[in-house]
Amino acid sequence: MSTHAFNNSESKNNDVSLNDIAEFLISRDEIGSEALEQLKEYLTRVLEKAGKKSPAYPYLEAACEFVDIAEKEGYENLDSQSVEVLSNFIECAGYEIDDDEPVFDSSNTANLTNSTEAASDIDMSPEPEPDSEIIESNSAPQTKTTSVPESPEETATPNPGTGVHTLPDDIDTDFLSEFATESEEYLEQAEASLLTLETDPEDDEAINSIFRAFHTIKGTSAFLGLTQITELAHVVESMLGRVRDGSIKYTEVYADVALQSIDVMKSLTEIAKVGSPGQELATPAGLAEIHERLAHPDELEADSQAFESGAVDTTPRLGDIIVAENIATRKQVEDVASSQAEDKLGVALVKSKTAKAAEVVQALRTQTKIAGPARTASSTLRVRTDRLDLLIETVGELVIAQSMVAQDDTVHLGENHKLLKKVGHSGKIVRELQDLSMSMRMVPLKATFQKMARLVRDAAQKSGKRVQLITQGEDEEIDRNMVDVISDPLVHMVRNAVDHGIESAEERSKANKPAQGTIRLAALRSGSNVLIKVGDDGAGLNRQRIVNKAIEKGLIESDKGMTDSEIFELILKPGFSTVENVTDLSGRGVGMDVVKRGIDALGGRINIASEFGKGTEFIMQLPLTMAITDGMLVKVGKELFIIPTININRSFRPNAEQISTVAGRGEMVLLHGQVIPVYRLYEIFSIKGAIENMTDSLLVIVGDGKNPCAFMVDELLNQQQVVAKPISDGLGKVSGVSGGAILGDGHVGLILDTIELATMARQSFKTAEIKQSRIANKGNNRQKPVTIKR
Amino acid sequence: MTGQAEVSKALEFAKSRSSETGQSDDGKGSKFLSFFLGEEEYGLQILSVREIIGLMDITQVPQTPHYIRGVINLRGKVIPVLELRTKFGMETIEDTEKTCIIVVEVVMQGAPIQMGILVDSVSEVLEIKASDIEAAPSFGGGINTDFIMGMGKVKDEVKILLDIDKVLGEVDVSGLGDLKQKTEADSKQTAEGDLEQTAEPVPA
Amino acid sequence: MENLKVLLVDDSGAMQKMIKMALSKIGIEGVATALNGVEGMENLKESIPDLILCDWNMPEMNGYQFVTAIRADSNFKNIPILMLTTVNTKDEVIEIMKAGANDFLNKPFTPDALKDKIIKVTKG
């Protein structure tokens, strides 16, 4: 036996021993490409000879792989460090094969190398220690309770979720209770991480933390002999491992499995915790189901991919769309479908004149849209969100700094046209940069809408109704930071639609409606806003019931003169709920006021349209991003304020005929036949030196069509985008002001919250009334303006 | 009394020397930034002081307590500025060249926040030994002694050492309405007549 | 063997206790513990053990980072390291060995198996 390099003639005829490899490795610091080839060949041969059952197999297998990787990555040579690692593999393997005789003892080599019998001896030589138990795919688990299948493919043990399990007789109850407590903590962490993944499915640390939870539970439970727990932890860990290494993509299908696993694991831990040694353990509900699902990773992956492409849950059939669009009734569609089976439904519908071709085409388009466009792979780079936020903020500062330069008198009033041009050019680039950086944080609404699909399914199941969801415009993008914030209101509205909007199947059939209700979720862009509509074809809002409730709650005195939409908007008031029976899903005393508050916080608005018996539609209007507000800069005295453009209806200079003072209601302006209350901003904010004569001032009409009011300002300066910054740190909530923005000259301008401001103004008007009457009683006729002490 | 720039320099030096604890090198005393309100000299632990800036344009914020002068742009960050004279119920004076803003950072409800404190002028960075700090005597009205950490003796003079957390604490921790009542109660003795002008929100 | 000073790094308190019990069964009592790699490194600065037993999957500083850090430090690079973990794939085996661990032992293990591996990695 040569103790030097393998040489061809020798290797062809003789078997190779581990010892040969070891010596080959220690005889050199580096291994060149030729030697690498040989090394690989001999490793493979040793591996084959040892066989899968050998305890040395994992080491040898890894060593082969290691050389493989080195080769694939194109290393010309293995450096000394890699040689050292390889040597360690060989040493470990050698140790496993015969731990009494060190692998470097050459007297032993003959045994190991020259006869195949010797090799088969090796296979059986060591004690079957738990760590070395390698179960082949078809063999039943060994008798040792702690055995864990070696790889995910080998988990096809029949029904691991069933069968009788007992708590080991010798279990240490102290350890057991410590294990239980610890596991609960791990599982709670895992739950929290799952929630993180809902919004950011690519958060590695979150995946890792869930993986770690199951990993640790698996290890610890195995020590305690809690086989049920170990088995479950193992299969879940395997699944998570594949998510972690990127071989499968995390979707809601996997999220659901993980969530269920956590629940079942909690029950298992609970059961074990209260058991006594030797006692038979109960099998919690859902255990078998989880094992069943995880035992077929291919099916799971198929579900997952289907879910992702929206094919399973979110794409309704053409017929459903036709019905939902009121092109034909369900019965008509079903009749056509059954009578003209040879044609595709679309063709059949047109042939039978049930629907016009254009309508079918439109429906098909809707269907395609819902199914989503074909996936195109685009290369992406992941960036930490805090860095992205910082980038956007910094670019915001740059925009301001640039405009400060542009407005500087030297540039602005100066004679140097070249400079002006250069500054203008840099300004253009800066604004492009701003648009670009903003777009980096925009994400499609798709994920949010998909969550709603699941919600509809679950809620419908729970309430025993048949509901389908049709989504539109899920490719519209909004600021990533907005996604979280709109999610809650949306969940609430969709749940409401299922629970309270859609009627039961019987009620629907009584009302001549298809048994299956439809909820439409649509998004569309309008300017720098996005509209999100949640509509249902349910019972609609009952005006009288809302009125009664509102009167009962003291919200209104009577509905005299109130329009339908004014009435409907009452349901957005805190504590208002028209449904008597509180359901598990959306009752619980939390009403639509949550929705309203969420939308207000975003600087958006909400409108409700409803027709009794036909359905309800909520329309949310939201800015695309929270970071940048389109604002109108207004001047009052020496102060500058920003009014978000989204809130402004129009502005105008009133003439004397338009202005009137209504007793008990204050100043009013008449515009297009509508009487609008006027509030003087300088009075609300006690600003001196502002224009006091209304015909010299400008009125800014804010609020939507129903509750407009006018704010009186000196002048409008210009419209600009501002970066909204919180001012309430250290101040608490400042009413009437939603934030601050750094203006072009470096000043801080306050961004007005017009809705709150209107409420404030109404209140201070009442205060002024009271004060005035008090003053009048004292015989003092001097009209005192409302002052808010600063 | 030294100029603001020199005090700023001294402050930076003191902060760099005293590490995170605000303790001086020998560990026996603490360092303070002293400033004036009227004739009285006050001290703030330099640990909480971030920087001293000159007076700049302050944007008034409506609906805030009367001792909040407004907000400023501190390098792109919007921070509130508290007028210490008003907070302490002293008469307000016109701003002078020496008027400046001490930027402090305190932790409120677990989050660090920055605030500006408007004072008549900054004086110097002092080291006061623990043995030279006495408990605050009770004043007859005027300043609420809750704000006072102790009285520091330096040579023959006495400086009022403020507990910045208490001074600012009320701004945030208690709600606005709560605070109004409190400050009103405080100012009752000193500034009568203020109350009449205060517009209390009327419940709808 | 009985006098071995061992540093045990594992983020699970329950697991630490069980491993300590296994060690105690084979006569090893001198065990220091750490909850993750960061703590482990702190521990090493105070005293150098004869053997490090370490989990692979830990928060803060995981097994890979920990072992790599140890091997990068000339003061520690010769300390035998035995990873106590659950290895599923050959990639994991490679990763462990590449980081510089001397060997690994799959959880759960019997005290005897642990003893065997300890003798092997400490060459005693």
Closest by CA position to A440, among listed A486, A490, A380, A489: A380
pLDDT digits (tens, 9 = 90+) for A348-403: 777 677 777 777 777 776 766 665 544 444 466 777 777 888 888 788 778 777 87
Residue C83, H or E segment: strand C81-85
Rounded to an integer, what distance in angstroms lies between the CA atom of residue C113 and that of residue A131? 8
Region B5-31: mean pLDDT is 66
Domain boundaries, chain A: 8-124, 152-309, 318-371, 444-623, 629-777
Which tokens in the block code for residue C9?
Answer: 């790094």
The pLDDT assigned to B191 comes to 38
Task: Please indicate whether residue A26 or residue C25 has the higher confidence score (pLDDT).
Answer: C25
Count Cα neighbours of A316 within 13 Å in the Cβ-side half-sphere.
Answer: 25
Residue-wise burial string across A659-669, b where 16 or more C-beta atoms lie within 10 A, e elsewhere: eeeeeeebbbb
Rounded to an integer, what distance in angstroms lies between the CA atom of residue A354 and that of residue A744? 62
Residues of chain C with pLDDT under 50: none
The pLDDT assigned to A290 comes to 85
Residue A333, H or E segment: helix A330-339
Q: Do the Cβ atoms of B66 and A790 come within 8 Å?
A: yes
Contact A618/C at CB under 8 A:
no
Rounded to an integer, what distance in angstroms lies between the CA atom of residue B71 and that of residue B55? 12
Rounded to an integer, what distance in angstroms lies between the CA atom of residue B152 and that of residue B139? 16
Asked whether this complex has an ipTM greater than 0.90, the answer is no
Residue in C89, C106, C120 nearest the CB of A95: C120
Please give the CATH architecture assigned to the domain spanning A444-623.
Answer: 2-Layer Sandwich (3.30)
Do at least 3 CB pairs under 8 Å connect C with B? no
Rounded to an integer, what distance in angstroms lies between the CA atom of residue A201 and that of residue A308? 13
Q: Do the Cβ atoms of B79 and A730 come within 8 Å?
A: yes
Residue-wise burial string across B45-84, b where 16 or more C-beta atoms lie within 10 A, e elsewhere: bbbbbbbbbebeebbbbbbbbbbbbbbbbbeeebbbbbbb
The pLDDT assigned to C61 comes to 82
Q: Compute how many other C-beta atoms are within 10 angstroms of the C-beta atom of residue A105.
A: 12
Q: Compute how many other C-beta atoms are within 10 angstroms of the C-beta atom of residue A485.
A: 18
Residue A44, H or E segment: helix A33-50
Count Cα neighbours of C98 within 13 Å in the Cβ-side half-sphere.
Answer: 18
Helix A57-72 × helix C90-99 angle, to 10°: 80
Closest by CA position to A256, among listed A478, A453, A443, A492: A453
The single-letter DSSP state of residue A472 is: E
DSSP class per residue in A336-403: HHHHTTTS-HHHHHHHTTSS-HHHHHHHHHHHHHHH-PPP---------HHHHHHHHHHHHHHHHHHH
Helices (H), C1-124: 13-25, 37-46, 63-72, 90-99, 111-122
For residue A316, which amino acid is it? Answer: P
Say yes or no: domain A152-309 is CATH 1.20.120.160: yes
Region B140-167: mean pLDDT is 79
Count Cα neighbours of A536 within 13 Å in the Cβ-side half-sphere.
Answer: 25
Rounded to an integer, what distance in angstroms lies between the CA atom of residue A189 and that of residue A186? 5
The position carrying tokens 């059952």 is: A53
pLDDT digits (tens, 9 = 90+) for B49-101: 888 888 888 988 877 888 889 999 887 778 999 999 988 888 888 888 889 99
Closest by CA position to A92, among listed C85, C67, C28, C96: C96
- Give the chain A residue whose CA is nearest to the CA of C86: A219
A298, pLDDT greater than 50? yes
A2, pLDDT greater than 60? no
Helix (H, G, I), strand (E, B) or coil at C2: coil
Which tokens in the block code for residue A574?
Answer: 């805190």
pLDDT digits (tens, 9 = 90+) for A520-529: 999 987 766 7
Region A720-729: mean pLDDT is 73
Helix (H, G, I), strand (E, B) or coil at A267: helix
The pLDDT assigned to B83 comes to 92
Closest by CA position to C118, among listed C14, C27, C18: C27
Strand partners, A630: A721
Rounded to an integer, what distance in angstroms lies between the CA atom of residue A472 and that of residue C75? 63
Q: Omega of the bond prior to B65 within 30 degrees of 0, cis?
A: no
Strand partners, B124: B34
Q: Do the Cβ atoms of A62 and C88 come within 8 Å?
A: no
Region B152-173: mean pLDDT is 77
In terms of Cβ atoms closer than 10 Å to its own Cβ (0-12, 13-18, 19+), residue C116 is buried
Q: Do the Cβ atoms of A736 and B197 come within 8 Å?
A: no
Region A750-779: mean pLDDT is 66
pLDDT digits (tens, 9 = 90+) for A137-163: 333 333 333 334 444 444 444 455 456
Q: Which residues of chain A have a CB within 8 Å of the CB of C13?
A: 178, 182
In terms of Cβ atoms closer than 10 Å to its own Cβ (0-12, 13-18, 19+), residue B137 is exposed
pLDDT digits (tens, 9 = 90+) for A589-621: 346 777 777 777 676 778 888 888 888 898 888
Domains in chain B with CATH codes: 4-191 (2.40.50.180)
B104, pLDDT greater than 70? yes
B108 within 8 A of B120, measured Cβ to Cβ = no
How confident is the prediction for chain A on average, in pLDDT? Answer: 74
Rounded to an integer, what distance in angstroms lies between the CA atom of residue A588 and that of residue A582? 6
Q: Do the Cβ atoms of A152 and C98 come within 8 Å?
A: no
Domain boundaries, chain C: 6-122
Residue in A748, A764, A789 nearest the CB of B73: A748
Residue A677, H or E segment: strand A674-680
Region A678-691: mean pLDDT is 86
Contact A627/B at CB under 8 A:
no
Which tokens in the block code for residue A160?
Answer: 């691991």
Q: For residue A29, what pLDDT band results from cuts at 50, 70 and 90? A: low
A82 within 8 A of C100, measured Cβ to Cβ = no
Rounded to an integer, what distance in angstroms lies between the CA atom of residue A280 and that of residue A209? 32
DSSP class per residue in chain B: ---HHHHHHHHHHHHHHSTTTTB-TTSSEEEEEEEEETTEEEEEEGGGEEEEEE----B--TTS-TTEEEEEEETTEEEEEEEHHHHTTPPP----TT-EEEEEEEEETTEEEEEEEEESEEEEEEEEEGGGEEPPPPPSSSS-GGGEEEEEEETTEEEEEE-HHHHHHHHHSS-HHHHHHHHHHHHHHH-TTHHHH--PPPP-
Q: Which residues of chain B have a CB within 8 Å of the CB of A731?
A: 61, 64, 68, 71, 80, 171-172
CB pairs under 8 A between A and C: 95
B22, pLDDT greater than 50? no
The pLDDT assigned to A132 comes to 37
Q: Do the Cβ atoms of A146 and C108 come within 8 Å?
A: yes
Residue A524, H or E segment: strand A517-526
- Overall CATH class of domain A629-777: mainly beta
For residue A67, which amino acid is it? Answer: V
CA distances from A116 to A21, A58, B90, C41 (A): 18, 20, 101, 47
Strand partners, A622: A530
Residue in C14, C57, C97 nearest the CB of A175: C14
Residue in A393, A685, A730 nearest the CB of B62: A685
CA distances from A662 to A658, A665, A678, A697, A709 (A): 12, 5, 11, 20, 14
A433, pLDDT greater than 60? yes
CB within 8 A of A699, min separation 6: which ones? A651, A652, A653, A654, A669, A678, A710, A711, A712, A713
Closest by CA position to A587, among listed A598, A595, A579: A579
What phi, psi does A313 have (nearest 5°)? -105, -30
C34 within 8 A of C123, measured Cβ to Cβ = no
Q: Do the Cβ atoms of A179 and C109 come within 8 Å?
A: no
Task: Please indicate whether residue A306 or residue A135 has the higher confidence score (pLDDT).
Answer: A306
Closest by CA position to A471, among listed A514, A532, A527, A517: A532
Q: For residue B197, what pLDDT band results from cuts at 50, 70 and 90? A: very low
> What kind of fold does domain C6-122 have according to CATH?
Rossmann fold (3.40.50)
Alpha-carbon gap: A728 to the closest alpha carbon of chain B (Å) = 8
What phi, psi does B16 have (nearest 5°)? -70, -30
The pLDDT assigned to A341 comes to 59
Rounded to an integer, what distance in angstroms lies between the CA atom of residue B185 and that of residue B182? 5
Contact A780/B at CB under 8 A:
no
Which tokens in the block code for residue C104?
Answer: 């690994």
Rounded to an integer, what distance in angstroms lies between the CA atom of residue A541 and that of residue A568? 7
Rounded to an integer, what distance in angstroms lies between the CA atom of residue C102 and that of residue C110? 19
